[in-house]
Structure 1
């Protein structure tokens, strides 16, 4: 009910750093040295990608990395980001590898939109949107560079080059580079199509916002779970920081899985008791909360007593509070 695993989103989360580290930077807004953990989240609330990056690095360079290079069975097709993950290069590369970039762009009215005809003919065909299409796209340039664009897409799709390297290099390429110009031209076309759909389709806008909200809710859960050492990263080396970030990802996914499983038990119990629990409602319930997690103190577990509470299927009995968490 949460999603079919076809859509994902990505965003960076800042964590404070103690001691010296090559990945940390001093940022006044965060009150000291921080690093960024860039995570990819599916529409099923699972985190499938985690990468430690320098906090002032351009996030857009890392959007495609775990989207294409993850080791999961998720049938990912569409990806949402906020403005920090958007470049013309990303729009082009997503399309060239057969995927769809669906970002939420700040100041959408200020971006350049392109047309395929003269201004007069464009306004005649599109009386309302025509005046917004200010630039004519260079179709001849795309035709000339099409084989090169396909080779680049093939290198990404089959792992012969990392997406962050490709995006970074082409984003920094000069305007005299023909292939870079063609890549940005194709990206401008895809951005125009996205803007048209985003402005005209409320359901599309809600879908993007809902996916980005899932990522934000997981940020909050990760922040709650990452409470040791006052939530700071203490390892100086990138490899150790990456291990710590992936441990946090495993822990977050474990909490999400636990909560989802017990949501399923609660829904079945409510429906067996005659309550109406529509699937449409379940699609908007999030397992990314921590009210059921005891973070602090010393916890003593009587293993034998706890095992005796399990039913024949190995589940703990539901409590009324767990049913109330569903809002049902």
Structure 2
């Protein structure tokens, strides 16, 4: 999964680390992370895969003013909902054949707001909440949350069909997350990305340093990518903004992840300066 601090502004650095079971509703654990994170980031959108989506999940995210934008592999099987049975949607009339029970939402609106308040204050976690209210047969509160979630779920489907930029943003974010996973596996080295500690606390202790290293690499790459772009433009080279947007700070081929490390710094770097940019034609740096 990945987040956007703002729509159209991908977030490359990690914001939280949590050990979760491999369930289909791992988006709820991501929501836990969004609510528990203590960084200065203000995420607005979370992008995930198909398995993490459900109408209840859409409802919880919308209650908390987050935009949930999953990449749906089963989009042809999704339902499209309407609030007004008599509304005329033109060619979409046959598609939007199911009506949202607005009376059920209204009857439980205060309860839904209390759920949102409990999640924000940390009284309950989203992952734990759905385990309780999502069991079958579903109670009226669960059905109200599901009905409410059908509104943002349908809007997501319609926007996905109608807006090419929206589709590209979701695809780009998913590709970025896969690139981050590749970096994780590389940093883990011989452990192949496996957390070997037997207890949850020990695993989360491993996640902390891992996240720190990943963010350090991301920050390093971002800083020097920016310097390289500025240098090329200063030399009169044409560097288009659309090409800069495609640059990724998650590349790691140039970083030595194994062996011994020397932390002897040049005097200029000790004083807060930056290392000189590498000349790609200099064979000594190959």
Residue 108 of structure 2 aligns to a residue in which SS? helix
Asked if 1:318 is matched to 2:280, the reply is no
Mapping of residues 133-282 of structure 1, within 5 Å: 133-175=96-138, 177-229=139-191, 231-282=193-244
TM-fit CA distance, 1:280: 2.6
Distance in 2 (alpha carbons) for counterparts of 1:183 and 1:155: 15
Alignment check: 8 A CA contact 1:221 1:289 kept: yes
Q: CA deviation at 1:64?
A: 0.9
**Secondary structure class of the residue paired with 1:297:** coil
Structure 1 CA distance for aligned equivalents of residues 147 and 33 of structure 2: 25
TM-score, scaled to structure 1:
0.78
2:64 and 2:100 map into 1 onto residues whose CA distance is 21
The separation in 2 between residues aligned to 1:295 and 1:94, in whole angstroms, is 38
Deviations 1:178-207, CA, capped at 9 Å, x for gaps: 111100011122211111111111111111
Q: What's the offset of the Cα at 1:135?
A: 1.2
Question: What's the C-alpha RMSD, in Å, of the aligned pairs?
Answer: 2.5
Q: Which residue of 2 aligns with 1:26?
A: none
1:214 CA displacement: 1.4
Q: Is the Cα contact below 8 Å between 1:309 and 1:317 reproduced in 2?
A: no
Name the structure with the higher strand share: 1
SS in 1 for 2:124: coil
TM-score under structure 2 length normalisation: 0.89
Q: Look up the match of 2:6.
A: 6
> What does residue range 80-119 of structure 1 map to in structure 2 within 5 Å?
80-118=47-85
Give 1:167 shift. 2.5
The residue number in structure 1 matching 2:33 is 66
Q: How many residues align?
A: 280
Q: Are 2:59 and 2:148, in contact at CA under 8 Å, matched by a contact in 1?
A: yes
Cα offset, 1:45, TM superposition: 0.4
User: Any gaps of 5 or more consecutive residues in structure 2?
Assistant: none
Q: Extract unaligned runs of 5+ from structure 1.
A: 9-41, 324-328
Give the CA deviation at 1:56.
Answer: 4.4
Decide whether the 8 Å contact of 2:24 with 2:52 is kept in 1.
no
Q: CA deviation at 1:227?
A: 0.5
